[in-house]
Amino acid sequence: MTLNSTAPREGTSFGIDIGGSGIKGAIVDLASGEFVGDRLKVTTPQPSTPQAVAAIVSDIVKQHHWEGPVGITLPSVVKDQKVLSAANIDKTWIGVDAQELFSGFLDVPFSVLNDADAAGLAEVAYGDGQAQKGSVVFLTLGTGIGSAFLLDGQLFPNTELGHLMVGSHEAEHLASSAAKDRNGLKYKQWAKHLNRVLYEYEKLFNPQCFIIGGGISRKFDRWGQHLTVSTPVFPAHLRNRAGIVGASMAVVEGIRP
């Protein structure tokens, strides 16, 4: 199984990114990594049980009149298409056979992988080159903190740095985008918490750079200058599109962690 991509594929594919707050889907032009038409976002149901989420995934595909392969990301460890964790989605996902679940809702080929892994692979394929060289820790800051370890563009899958303890708190409880909103922090205040987390990651893993995606990366100019960690930090080229794009790549390339 190959878990890297430095050569974007031709044609189109479909990606769906399942998150704690929203489920997003779009058709992707694999030559450019751009969306074809509009992205559709649906609020993640509460409780976000497997059946409820899979029904929304099916509906998003149908609304796009899509009949080709579909890539799906989850905020979970996914091994051999089995869901082994559930970060920010209902705990009933743990132990679910993703192939069996989604086969009941989709009549097309599909694959399922970790959301940050998908985003990291998309950044390798369509980013500005930073993700293709050396050791990179790719982070997505959203409802939680997702992570992808990249070495010369190849992925070590299913890392979960958002759950690493920083002091007495999980990293994502300190420095996710949701933590910023939940605690009413201004960007400069929130950047101090992100600094604490990045210092810990730097100490443990010594990457050549951090690349940060997720919706908050679009405002990198508001908080990037407040980071003091010595490792260079860059905003993701794809910003918050990366999960959908990576999912669409994964199903075409046969990536099934």
CA distance 22 to 111: 19
154 and 102 fall within a common domain: no
pLDDT reported for residue 6: 40
pLDDT reported for residue 212: 97
70-74 vs 12-18, strand pairing mode: parallel
Q: Which residue's structure tokens are 């508001």?
A: 222
CA angle 222–226–229, rounded 5-degree value: 135
pTM of the model: 0.93
226 and 248 fall within a common domain: no
pLDDT reported for residue 206: 98
Residue 104 has pLDDT above 50, yes or no: yes
Name, in order, each residue with C-beta under 8 angstroms of 107's C-beta and a sequence gap of 6 or more: none
Residue 207 lies in a domain: yes
CA angle 145–114–194, rounded 5-degree value: 10
90 and 33 fall within a common domain: yes
Contact 163, 87 (CB under 8 A): yes
Residue 7 lies in a domain: no
pLDDT in tens, 211-246: 999 989 999 999 999 999 999 999 999 988 999 999
> Could you give the C-alpha distances from 4 to 120, 124, 133, 150, 207, in angstroms and in order?
9, 8, 12, 9, 18
pLDDT band at 90 (very low <50, low <70, confident <90, very high): very high
Residue 94 lies in a domain: yes
CATH code for the domain of 41: 3.30.420.40
The separation between the first and the last C-alpha atoms of the chain, rounded to the nearest angstrom, is: 8
153 and 187 fall within a common domain: yes
55 and 148 fall within a common domain: no
**Smallest Cα–Cα separation from 44: which of 85, 83, 74?**
74
> Could you give the C-alpha distances from 236 to 33, 101, 129, 137, 148, in angstroms and in order?
13, 32, 11, 11, 12
CB atoms within 10 A of CB 164: 16
Residue 3 lies in a domain: no
- DSSP, res 97: B
Residue 94 has pLDDT above 80, yes or no: yes
Residue 1 lies in a domain: no
| Domain housing 63 | 12-117+242-253
pLDDT in tens, 173-216: 999 999 999 999 999 999 999 999 999 999 999 999 999 999 89
